Structure formats: structure tokens, C-alpha cells
């Protein structure tokens, strides 16, 4: 693994301090959107409720991908709507979102992506990458040219492969278990289902 530069370390500690300050990280026994169980849950809306803090994170994502020339930003509902809006605002381009349709995602509301149009995909918390992958599939099925994926928090233990560049404002690998392997279930601890997407 590449070692981080002093600038990156400074940025990481500032982002960690911000997340601690607003209380994003909760501890307990949580059912994640991915279906996995975890002793930690990143309550993204603790951050997303503050336009100023959300703006700071979107600046990091926008700065990373600006030179790739995206024409539109797409995020999966629900948090991705906010991140797509703000990142697009900062880049001066369109921001749209992909909604659940069974086990896939689609662009509704007359949202369109032209064939060959450059697309940046954003999301709040990356765990298994399912929401991002569904969004990528929706974009690619319309002929969109994905320039990268930007997420607020990458909590995956092993980053999923999206076939494009992945940037996270904070890389924070966090334990997650399949229900059948969950030691918290084995201990009989009550499962919490946080606000779902």
C-alpha cells in the first residue's frame, strides 16, 4: 500500500475530526443496507444535514475528478441525491439520481445520459459497493462513460472493483459479517435497523 503524503494525512485527520464532531460513527449491532451485520454504523445523515460539511466533502470529490471533465454527476438514493446535487453544483454540471427498481437501479424523472457522455458517480457510504454497482449499471446501460466513483466514506474491508477510479473522502475499513457468521447475533444482541435507503 502506498504511504500517504503529509498533505493527505492532514486532510484525513481533519475529516476524521469532523466525523467525530458530528457523531457519524455509532456502535452497537446494526443491519446494513447491504444485508450485512456490523458493530459499527456510519450515520451519514449526521453529516448530510449540514450543507457546509457536505460541501467540504463534495469539494474533495469535485477536485479529484474535475480534470476528467464529467458532464453529469449521478448518485443512488437517498444520500446520493444530496451528494450528486452538491458535487454537480460545485462543478457547474447536472446532478441526477438513480432509484431502486427491484434489484436494480434506474434513472426516472426524464433524467437522461447521452451516449458517450462523461459521468461521475457519487455515494455516501461504501460497504459492499452494491448501490454504486447498480448505479454504474444504469449509467453504462445508457451509454454513459464513467470517469470515476467518489464516496464520502469507504468502510469496505476490501474495496470492490468498479472498473474505474475510486476516491473516498475517508477510508475507514469497518467489520461487517454475514448474518450466519455474526458474533453479535450469536451473543443474542438485539439488531438495530438504522434509517434505510
Footprint of Zn ion on this chain (CB under 5 A)? 37, 182, 184-185
Give the nearer residue to Zn ion in terms of CB position, either 37 or 44: 37
Q: Measured from the CB atom, is 37 or 118 closer to Zn ion? A: 37
Pick between residue 28 and residue 160 the one whose CB is nearest to Zn ion: 28
- Min. distance of Cβ 28 from Zn ion in angstroms? 10
Helices 6-22 and 51-65, interaxial angle, to 10°?
150
What's the Cα-to-Cα distance from 156 to each of 125, 138, 146, rounded to whole Å? 9, 22, 21
Shortest Å distance, C-beta 125 to Zn ion = 18
CB of 147 to Zn ion, least distance (A): 37
Q: State how far the Cα of 86 lies from the Cα of 78, in Å rounded to an integer.
A: 14
Q: Whose Cβ is closer to Zn ion: residue 52's or residue 180's? A: 180
Q: Rounded to an integer, what distance in angstroms lies between the CA atom of residue 3 and that of residue 122?
A: 25
Which is nearest to 75 in space by CA: 126, 26, 36?
126
Q: How far is the CB of 38 from Zn ion (least distance, A)?
A: 8
Min. distance of Cβ 32 from Zn ion in angstroms? 10
Tell me the C-alpha distance between 167 and 176, whole Å.
21
Task: Output 169 or 184, the one with its CB closest to Zn ion.
Answer: 184
Closest CA to 61 of 124, 111, 138, 136: 124
84/182 with CB nearer Zn ion? 182
Q: How far is the CB of 37 from Zn ion (least distance, A)?
A: 3
Exposure string of 86-106, with b = 16+ CB inside 10 Å and e = fewer, is bbbebbebbbbbbbeeeeebb
38 and 32 in contact (C-beta within 8 Å)? yes
Amino acid at each position: 500500500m502506498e504511504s500517504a503524503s503529509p498533505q493527505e494525512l492532514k486532510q484525513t485527520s481533519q475529516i476524521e475530526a469532523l466525523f467525530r464532531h458530528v457523531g457519524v460513527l455509532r456502535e452497537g449491532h446494526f443491519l446494513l443496507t447491504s444485508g450485512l451485520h456490523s458493530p459499527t454504523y456510519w450515520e451519514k445523515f449526521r453529516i448530510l444535514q449540514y450543507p457546509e460539511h457536505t460541501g467540504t466533502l463534495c469539494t474533495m470529490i469535485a477536485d479529484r475528478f474535475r480534470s476528467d471533465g464529467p458532464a453529469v454527476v449521478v448518485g443512488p438514493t437517498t444520500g446520493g441525491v444530496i451528494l450528486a446535487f452538491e458535487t454537480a453544483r460545485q462543478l457547474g454540471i447536472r446532478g441526477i439520481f438513480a432509484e431502486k427498481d427491484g434489484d436494480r437501479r434506474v434513472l426516472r424523472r426524464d433524467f437522461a445520459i447521452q451516449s458517450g457522455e462523461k459521468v461521475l458517480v457519487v455515494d455516501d457510504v461504501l460497504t459492499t459497493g452494491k448501490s454504486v454497482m447498480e448505479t454504474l449499471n444504469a449509467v453504462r446501460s445508457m451509454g454513459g462513460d464513467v470517469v470515476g466513483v467518489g464516496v464520502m466514506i469507504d468502510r469496505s474491508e476490501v474495496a470492490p472493483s468498479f472498473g474505474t477510479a475510486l476516491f473516498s473522502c475517508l477510508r475507514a475499513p469497518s467489520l461487517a459479517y454475514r448474518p450466519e457468521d455474526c458474533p453479535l447475533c450469536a451473543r443474542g444482541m438485539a439488531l438495530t435497523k438504522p434509517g434505510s435507503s
